[in-house]
Amino acid sequence: MPVTLKQLEAFYWTATLGGFTEAAVRLNLAQSTISKRILEIEAVVNGPLFDRTSHALRLTRAGEASLPVATEMLALEVRFREAASGPATFAGPFRFGATELVALTWLPKLVVAMKRTYPNLIPVPEVAASVDLFGKLAANELDLVIGLDPPQTPELTTVPLKEVQLEWVAAPGFGPVEDCIPLRDMAKYPILSQTQGSGLQRLVLDWAVANGLQINRVVQCNSLNVLAGLAASGLGVTFLTASYFGPEIRNGLLRVIKTEPAIPPIRYFAVHRARDLSPLAARVAEIAQECCDFSARSLPDREPGS
């Protein structure tokens, strides 16, 4: 009796996710169905693929030897369907994460481009801090993450996107009189920043501390727009993208404060699992490279006082 693709799929996801329950959730099947398919494939190969004697489910030697072949066969099945059906092969939800700055700028452009390339795809974006999104990527709850400072692991493929330039900003009547000051002098003012899970917050403040800035007072908020509003109200200094908040700067709600040294550019990445069966995440990462534009604005410019 030949091995079926459904049996290989059950074996692959059980091995990859580490359990029958996890594979059942991933494939939207009953756990008993997953177990049955694995027993069927073990009957065909005349031996166990999993060691069920320990608390944690582990592959046997036969399972370890078979998993790369199963992965290749399932990936070939996706390629076959794509060759036959083209973009229509990829249908249903595509779960991906993005940080707030991406959502405020070029996320709508990305979703439109995804739908244009893959009409049957249903983009399901989630906006959160980079650290939370990468955790969900590792747990197979997301297929792609657009964020900062990705984990350095061979399990992930990182596709570089554009850099974003951040500037210190404050209300026109708040902060130093000079337009450019030594970075250490910024310690005189309250620093408004995003919450701890933010990649921007961690990268900028870690860099600032490493360059001699003693941060004594930090007000935290998880919204860039709210931070801009707090800074415009004279409550402190924050770091934002001058390109995105250009209207507020031009309208006199905010002013840019240069420091020496200046905040270095920060690069974003599109990150997906290296061993995904489907090439879709890698394709969307390529689309993200084309769409990435941190100077865009997903909403109309605001007028002073609005």
Helix (H, G, I), strand (E, B) or coil at 240: strand
Least confident of 50-54, 83-87, 92-96, 206-210: 83-87
Residue 196 confidence (pLDDT): 67
Residue 167 is predicted with a pLDDT of: 92
Range of the domain at 62: 5-86
Instruction: Provide the pLDDT for residue 302.
Output: 47
Average pLDDT over residues 183-207: 84
Q: What does pTM read for this prediction?
A: 0.80
Res 299: pLDDT: 56
Whether 30 and 104 map to the same domain: the answer is no
In b/e form, how buried is each residue of 253-274, taking b as 16+ CB within 10 angstroms? Answer: bbbebebeeebeebebbbbbbe
18: alpha, beta or left? (left if phi > 0; alpha if psi -120 to 50): left
Q: Is the separation of the CB atoms in 123 and 111 below 8 Å?
A: yes
CB within 8 Å of 266: residues ≥ 6 apart? 148, 163, 164, 166, 200, 203, 204
Q: Are 236 and 226 in contact (CB under 8 A)?
A: no
Confidence of residue 289 (pLDDT cuts 50, 70, 90): very high
The average pLDDT across 65-87 equals 84
Give the domain-ending residue among 86, 119, 151: 86
Q: Is the pLDDT of residue 291 over 50?
A: yes
Whole-number Å distance between alpha carbons of 109 and 123: 12
Mean pLDDT of 198-214: 84
The answer to whether residues 46 and 64 belong to one domain is yes
CATH of the domain at 183: 3.40.190.10
Closest C-alpha among 197, 190, 230 to residue 213: 190
Q: How far from 140 is each of 10, 12, 73, 80, 236, CA to CA, in Å?
A: 15, 14, 21, 24, 39
Residue 56: predicted pLDDT? 82
- The residue to which tokens 């792609």 are assigned: 144
Same domain, 172 and 256: yes
In a domain, 22, yes or no: yes
Whole-number Å distance between alpha carbons of 143 and 305 = 40
Out of 32-46, 66-80, 145-159, 266-280, least confident range: 66-80
Q: What is the pLDDT of residue 298?
A: 60
Residue 305 lies in a domain: no
Rounded to the nearest integer, the mean pLDDT of the chain is 89
Residue 303's pLDDT band (boundaries 50, 70, 90)?
very low
Residue 230 in this model has a pLDDT that exceeds 80: yes
> Coil, helix or strand for 194?
coil
DSSP lists the bridge partners of residue 146 as 98, 270
Segment 176-181 shows an average pLDDT of 88
pLDDT at residue 2 above 80? yes
Which residue, 180, 239, 258, 185, is CA-closest to 215?
185
| Of the candidate ranges 58-72, 190-204, 286-300, the one whose mean pLDDT is the lowest | 190-204
Q: Do residue 174 and residue 249 come from a single domain?
A: yes
Q: Is residue 302 part of a domain?
A: no
Cis peptide before 261 (omega within 30 of 0): yes
Tokens representing residue 64 in the block:
């370890």
pLDDT at 41 over 80: yes
Whole-number CA gyration radius for the chain: 24
What number of other Cβ atoms are within 10 A of residue 276's Cβ? 18
Reported as a pLDDT band with limits 50, 70 and 90, residue 110 is very high
Res. 305: pLDDT tops 60 = no
Mean pLDDT, to the nearest integer, of 107-122?
95
Residues with Cβ within 8 Å of 258's Cβ and at least 6 positions away in sequence, in order, are 167, 168, 179, 180, 181
* Minimum mean pLDDT range among 134-148, 151-165, 209-223, 241-255: 209-223
Q: Do 125 and 254 share a structural domain?
A: no
- For the chain, the domain total comes to 3
* Pair (76, 152) in one structural domain: no
Q: Stretch 121-131: mean pLDDT, rounded?
A: 93
Are 177 and 251 in a shared domain?
yes
For residues 225 and 233, give the distance between their C-alpha atoms in angstroms, rounded to a whole number.
12
Q: Is the pLDDT of residue 304 over 70?
A: no
Q: Based on the domain organization, do 135 and 275 belong to the same domain? A: yes
Distances (CA, A) of 164 to 79, 105, 193: 36, 11, 16
- Asked if the model's pLDDT at residue 174 lies above 80, the reply is yes
